[in-house]
Chain A
Amino acid sequence: MWCRWAQRDLTALVDRELTPSRARRVRRHVDRCEACAEQLAGLQQTVRRQRELLSRLNEAAPEAPVDAMLRRLRSEIREPEATQQARRWWLSPQIVAAVAASAVAVLGLLRLSEPLLVAVGLEDPPEIVAEKPDLFVDYTLFEHLDTIEHLEVGSAPPTDSRG
């Protein structure tokens, strides 16, 4: 059981990637176990050779055309940025300000034109007129408003057929 546990750590021990306490425990076991000591020696050789082989493999790879790749990289980076900027033209400050100003103007016009729209029947009158028509039924009063305003105390009020 100790061997199985220790052998899992042998590669990391060779790579010097064990914590100091764990490395000490593994080495203590290896010092007492011939099989694991042999395994460790073999792995040390293996890791050294693999580093050499992989390094040679890396060096043998064809040279990458760095300048050509850099040119392609630059065009690839700049093209998406230019495309994104072109797509976002409508987010430019000038466009946003113009749209906002237009919206304010349109809303203002709609507000001012409300009585006109009501008069020609394109808009319903305000709700209060519909809810309390009695307030607006005595047009006779309004017809004689001028008279009422100038009525002197003691004089008879104008007669109304509705009483």
Chain B
Amino acid sequence: MNPEKDPDVQLMLAVQRGDEAAFEALFRKHVRPVVGFALSFVGSQARAEELAQEAFVRVYQTRSRYQPAARFTTWLYRIVTNLCLSDTRRVEHRVMTEPHTRGGGGEVVVDAGDLPDEQGQSGEERLLAHEDLDRVRDVLDRLPPQQRAALLLARVEGLSYDEVAKSLESSVSAVKSLIHRATVSMRDELAKDD
């Protein structure tokens, strides 16, 4: 997409001109996916929200340096990814200490007993059927951070490999390799239930 046709780019250029409403619009549009992305790295909703907030503080503070060379999300996720990867390098945040919880504090697990028995399916198919999201989360967390970041940016946030490369400050060929390895690793880990 031509960056100039990206509505978020136009909003960011308005932020540069001092438009606070434009900044609020960008925040409201992107904060939830950013929190979701950060949650994959820090394992704590509270910490994910802190990182998301820090990302938007940086977006605001560096608004004068923003240049619409790519889609807004490419620039946003560059900031977010840097914060998340920095956070994972800290020992105290490397290990997930909290389950991913809904507001009430319970684990996000569907009771398999409520679902029909589906014999003959692969581990991955059973996971799809039973929505064992904690298992998926666990597999995702075991990916190296760079692979995890590349996979999520491409598969969840919908960035192209070129945009992922810009967000990770890497090359397209490196991103291609990261995503391939992440895809295969995740497939093999989920298949271990077979």
B4 within 8 A of A: no
Could you give, for residues 119-138 of chain B, a 1 whenever the CB lies within 8 Å of some chain A CB and a 0 otherwise? 00000100110010100110
Could you give, for residues 41-76 of chain A, a 1 whenever the CB lies within 8 Å of some chain B CB and a 0 otherwise? 011001101111111111011111110011011001
Q: Please provide the 8 A-B residue pairs with the shortest distance between their CB atoms, ordered closest to farther.
A: A11-B180, A64-B35, A17-B161, A46-B187, A58-B36, A61-B36, A12-B176, A54-B156
Residues of A within 8 A of B27 (CB): 66, 69-70, 73
CA A10 – CA B177 in complex, angstroms?
11
- Please tell me if the beta carbons of B56 and A50 are within 8 angstroms of each other in the complex: no
- 20 CB contacts below 8 A, A to B, read A8-B180, A12-B176, A12-B180, A17-B176, A50-B151, A51-B155, A57-B133, A58-B156, A60-B100, A60-B108, A60-B133, A61-B35, A61-B45, A64-B32, A64-B35, A64-B52, A69-B52, A70-B28, A72-B53, A73-B27
B186 within 8 A of A: yes
B24 within 8 A of A: yes
Taking CB atoms and an 8 Å cut-off, the chain A residues in 3-36 that contact chain B are: 8-12, 15, 17
Known: A10-B180, A54-B152, A64-B31. 10 other contacts (CB 8 A): A17-B161, A50-B155, A53-B136, A57-B136, A58-B33, A61-B39, A62-B100, A64-B32, A73-B53, A77-B61
B86 within 8 A of A: no
Closest A residue, CB atoms, query B188: A46
Give chain A nearest CB distance to B27 CB in angstroms: 6
Closest A residue, CB atoms, query B156: A54
- Please tell me if the beta carbons of B180 and A49 are within 8 angstroms of each other in the complex: no
Q: B residues engaging A (CB < 8 A)?
A: 24, 27-28, 31-33, 35-36, 39, 45, 49, 52-53, 56-57, 60-61, 100-103, 108, 124, 127-128, 131, 133, 136-137, 140, 151-152, 154-156, 160-161, 176-177, 179-180, 183-184, 186-187
Given known A10-B180, A12-B179, A50-B183, contact A63–B103 (CB-CB < 8 A): yes
Give chain B nearest CB distance to A53 CB in angstroms: 5
CA A10 – CA B158 in complex, angstroms?
18
Closest A residue, CB atoms, query B139: A53
CA A52 – CA B151 in complex, angstroms?
13
CA A57 – CA B33 in complex, angstroms?
11
Given known A12-B176, A69-B53, contact A49–B24 (CB-CB < 8 A): no
- Please tell me if the beta carbons of A70 and B24 are within 8 angstroms of each other in the complex: yes
Give chain B nearest CB distance to A73 CB in angstroms: 6
- Please tell me if the beta carbons of B32 and A63 are within 8 angstroms of each other in the complex: yes
Closest A residue, CB atoms, query B24: A70
Residues of A within 8 A of B140 (CB): 54, 57
CA A62 – CA B32 in complex, angstroms?
9
CA A60 – CA B140 in complex, angstroms?
15
